[in-house]
């Protein structure tokens, strides 16, 4: 069945295609940055140029499928199907399969140097743990599946009443497929518990022991997998241990203590593309070690690693932000480090709170360096996921927080 199309010389074509083949086509077209109709057009052209038929495809249960093709393409395709003795549905399925086989999924882009993202703010309760977990989950999602993403530029529309941009606009994009390690660097262990695991026992091994030079085994033995099909084996967690409450005391006697975290994690870096550190609300030696770990290494591109500062749209976050950035700047100056700011994340935002929230958000937006790279709403799904001890992006993959966290992951991966 065909019908006229206003877009040039194309016409709407309605046939049938198995749902599994249509989904694979949809994902692959997005991966290659082209329209599905162009992929089908290319597949049909290649199929028509073959000297013989391909192996038959199981088209049982095929469902209605519509696309737009040049008028002469569809007419010629129908004639070729008839001369080759195959149905239109079978010919279309073979054409799509031919295009898929000729255009394999692009390889996941891996950083030359493991990315180290330090999620921090010395103020407690701003949601560092939720941002660490959510960004890590978004980085690790299946690259062979499409997920809804809020286009990052749209959060600016939250402040502009004259902006015609739809702040809720979504785009389906492939998952990023990164190998991610989440490090619970906070002795309170919120990240560990939220993801359904228990903190490490005090009388066993821990990250603290390895940082203090007293590791009892391989650090990799402490790492656990976050089990969910969305992440396969790409999302891992290094659980917290309550002995981290004593970390600053133990680091006081360690040689080159600012490099202690780097020395501890060096043994596992080769297994990951991204390591996110969920920092404690502290300005002590542990924060120095985290900042040093996120510094720009020799031959590392600017913005590959650095600090991601989580704030809220209220006044006390501004005071905490000033204290944190002062400490980072002191580290930069004292040790001659290049420490990049990956940006600010305004968390728990709710415009219904009125002037305090909106004016505070505007103040964060006005900073420019570091710039705001994400605005995450204060919604119920995050609290529900914490109660269920499940990753948010697995618990509610299409909720507003999830789509915003995917945009954040892409923004800091540019």
Residue of 42, 44, 126, 136 lying closest to 91 (CA atoms): 44
- 266 shares its domain with 177: yes
Angle separating helix axes 355-367 and 315-335, nearest 10 degrees: 20
- 79 shares its domain with 128: no
How many domains in the chain? 2
Range of weakest confidence among 95-99, 141-145, 361-365, 395-399: 361-365
Please give the distance of CA 385 from its chain centroid, rounded to a whole number. Answer: 17
- 370 shares its domain with 401: yes
- 174 shares its domain with 321: yes
Residue of 368, 348, 401, 334 lying closest to 121 (CA atoms): 348
The single residue listed with the structure tokens 């995917």 is: 406
Question: 220-237, pLDDT tens digit by residue?
Answer: 999 999 999 999 999 999
Q: Print the domain residue range for 31.
A: 2-102
Average pLDDT over residues 223-252: 93
What is the distance between the alpha carbons of residues 31 and 327, in angstroms, rounded to a whole number?
42
Label the pairing between strands 10-17 and 63-70: antiparallel
Domain final residue, candidates 102, 127, 162: 102
CATH number at residue 300: 3.40.50.300
What is the distance between the alpha carbons of residues 44 and 28, in angstroms, rounded to a whole number?
16
In a domain, 109, yes or no: no
Q: Which pLDDT belongs to residue 148?
A: 92
What is the distance between the alpha carbons of residues 362 and 357, in angstroms, rounded to a whole number?
9
Question: 332-374, pLDDT tens digit by residue?
Answer: 999 999 999 999 999 988 888 787 788 888 888 888 889 999 9
Task: State the chain's maximal CA–CA distance in angstroms.
Answer: 83
Cβ proximity of 328 and 338 under 8 Å: no
Average pLDDT over residues 307-327: 86
Domain final residue, candidates 102, 123, 146: 102
- 83 shares its domain with 123: no
Q: Is the pLDDT of residue 157 over 90?
A: no
Average pLDDT over residues 256-263: 95
């Amino acid at each position: 069945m065909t019908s006229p199309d206003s877009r040039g010389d194309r016409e709407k074509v309605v046939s049938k295609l198995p749902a599994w083949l249509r989904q694979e086509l949809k994902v692959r077209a997005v991966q290659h940055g082209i329209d599905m109709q162009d992929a089908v057009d290319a597949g049909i052209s290649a199929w028509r140029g073959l000297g013989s038929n391909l192996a038959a495809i199981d088209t049982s249960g095929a469902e209605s499928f519509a696309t737009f093709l040049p008028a002469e393409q569809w007419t010629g395709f129908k004639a070729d199907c008839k001369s080759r003795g195959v149905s239109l549905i079978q010919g279309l399925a073979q054409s799509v399969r031919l295009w898929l086989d000729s255009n394999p999924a692009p390889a996941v882009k891996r950083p030359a140097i493991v990315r180290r993202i330090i999620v921090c703010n010395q103020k407690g309760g701003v949601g560092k743990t939720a941002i660490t977990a959510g960004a890590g989950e978004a980085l690790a999602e299946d690259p062979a599946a499409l997920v809804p993403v809020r286009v990052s530029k749209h959060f600016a529309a939250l402040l502009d009443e004259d902006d015609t941009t739809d702040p809720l606009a979504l785009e389906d994009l492939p998952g990023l497929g990164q190998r991610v390690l989440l490090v619970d660097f906070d002795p309170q262990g919120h990240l560990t518990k939220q993801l359904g695991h228990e903190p490490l026992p005090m009388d066993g091994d821990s990250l603290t022991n390895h940082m203090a030079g007293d590791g009892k085994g391989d650090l990799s033995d402490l790492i656990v997998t976050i089990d969910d099909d969305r992440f396969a084996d790409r999302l891992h967690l290094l659980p917290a241990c309550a002995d981290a409450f004593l970390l600053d005391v133990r680091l006081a006697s360690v040689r080159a203590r600012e490099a202690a975290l780097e020395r501890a994690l060096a043994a596992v870096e080769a297994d990951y593309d991204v390591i996110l550190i969920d920092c404690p609300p502290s300005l002590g030696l542990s924060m120095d070690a985290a900042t040093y770990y996120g510094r720009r290494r020799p031959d590392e591109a600017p913005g590959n690693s650095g600090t991601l500062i989580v704030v809220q749209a209220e006044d006390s976050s501004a005071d905490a932000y000033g204290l944190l950035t002062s400490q980072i700047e002191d580290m930069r100056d004292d040790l001659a480090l290049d420490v990049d700011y990956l940006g600010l994340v305004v968390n728990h935002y709710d415009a219904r709170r009125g002037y305090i929230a909106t004016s505070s958000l505007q103040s964060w937006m006005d900073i420019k360096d570091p710039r705001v790279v994400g605005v995450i709403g204060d919604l119920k799904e995050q609290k529900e996921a914490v109660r269920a001890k499940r990753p948010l992006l697995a618990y509610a993959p299409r909720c507003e927080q999830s789509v915003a966290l995917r945009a954040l992951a892409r923004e800091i991966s540019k």
